[in-house]
Copies of this chain bind each other. A is one copy, B any other.
Amino acid sequence: MTTSFQFTVTGTDSSGTRARTGKVETAHGSFETPVFMPVGTRAVVKTMSPRDLKDTGTKILLGNTYHLAVRPGEKHIEKFGKLHKFMAWDGPILTDSGGFQVFSLADLRKLNDDGVTFRSHVNGDIYTFTPERVLEIQQSLGSDIMMPLDQCLGWPCTYEDAQAAAVRSLAWLKRSVQVPLPPDQALFGIVQGSVYPDLRKMYAEEMLPLNLAGHSIGGLAVGEPKEAMFEMISLVNEILPWHKPRYLMGVGSPQDIVMAVSRGVDMFDCVMPTRNARSGGVFTWDGKMQIRNSRHSESLEPLDQRCSCYCCRTFTRGYLHHLFSKKVEEILGLTLLTLHNITFYHSLTKTIRETIQNGQFTEFSRDFLERYRKASETEEE
């Protein structure tokens, strides 16, 4: 049986990092990596229509299995012709396993080697997620890339807890790969192991023979020091095969993305651009800013002179400041800043791809991180 999913490394960084460019093909089209995936929690990227998303340059979305299974339910979505048709998004979709939300949002009822039973934070109903069950849900959703159930820990956690969770998650992963999957849905594995190098190493090595379509790095960006996060990424990517895509889950800031790319990561998702937008936070090539700040009140400038999104082509900072001001608080402001921030993230990954291919990634990376570091020093938020 041939599968729709293909990954090809299309370029490597001649300037000395482990960064690479690639192309992923799925049953719903292809995209280039490094790629950023906006988060469409409840079958919608907050405030964005599919045509808005196309306008930002979005190629692939993330959907949250936990949220969709709880409301409106995967069987409900299946009746509409699965998730793509339900939300009218015809490009690739990646779904997580729901594990992260079960362990962070839900009222946990029972965890054992079979799976996890929990009470939904939304409606109080009881659900059981097993490795097999979350793949069944994701098949009803019809995502192009699926994630296996794993046990997610916060930070800090003891070595013993991290080890037990890693052993359990690996056992779940081995059950997951036994589930017969349709050829148009690819399964990734997720490396866990918290900040413990030997657990990460053991996990990555045990995963290799499973011949997964791609590999995710999970359990990071949960509060641990940045150094620990990047150490784990470097270590894991030394082991994970070069010819499969690597997805760093839930990361992150523009700086984190640049630094993870230089360590060989290809795929990213994060609520940062969308969530920040809704509270007035703007990402630009000159750092972050807060549109509510009174210094923008009379500004005739766009959010970012270098950005070509509809918001930057059309509106001044002063107008956007007005939309976000107290007792005005217009919804359009949330939509426009979201449109801009997602466009910025895609412009960033596009620039990353271009500089990898023309041998200037190290130079770009150094300049970009320096500019963001300086901007953070003066940030007024």
Contact = CB atoms under 8 A, between A and B. Distances in A.
A310 interface: yes
A318 interface: yes
Best-surrounded residue of A47, A88, A122, A332 (most CB of chain B within 10 A): A332
Contact of A319 (B48, B86, B123, B323): B86
A336 interface: yes
A331 B277 CA distance: 13
A79 interface: yes
A46 interface: yes
A85 to B, nearest CB: 9
Interface residues of A, number: 39
B332 A44 contact: yes
Contact of A332 (B49, B76, B123, B330): B49
A310 to B, nearest CB: 7
A80 B314 CA distance: 13
Contacts of A319: 43, 80, 86-88
Contact of A43 (B47, B80, B322): B322
Interface string A298-311: 10100000000010
Nearest to A336: B49
A262 interface: no
Nearest to A321: B72
Given A319-B87, A327-B71, A46 B80 contact: no
Interface of A is mostly: loop
A322 B72 contact: yes
A80 B297 CA distance: 11
Nearest to A67: B328
A331 B297 CA distance: 25
Of A51, A298, A327, the most chain B CB neighbours within 10 A belong to A327
Nearest to A68: B322
Contact of A76 (B42, B122, B298, B315): B298
A130 interface: no
Interface in A52-96: 71-72, 76, 79-80, 86-88
A115 interface: no
Nearest to A315: B88
Most buried by B among A310, A315, A328: A328
A316 interface: yes
A290 interface: no
A239 to B, nearest CB: 40
Contacts of A46: 330-332
A334 interface: yes
A350 to B, nearest CB: 23
The interface centre, meaning the residue of A79, A319, A336 with most chain B CB atoms within 10 A of its CB, is A319
A122 B327 CA distance: 7
A55 to B, nearest CB: 10
A42 B328 contact: yes
Contact of A314 (B88, B123, B300, B325): B88
Nearest to A316: B80
A250 interface: no
CB-CB nearest 10 A-B residue pairs: A47-B331, A88-B314, A44-B330, A122-B327, A72-B322, A44-B332, A42-B328, A86-B319, A88-B315, A331-B331
13 contacts: A42-B330, A43-B319, A46-B330, A46-B331, A46-B332, A49-B310, A49-B332, A71-B322, A71-B325, A71-B327, A72-B322, A79-B298, A86-B316
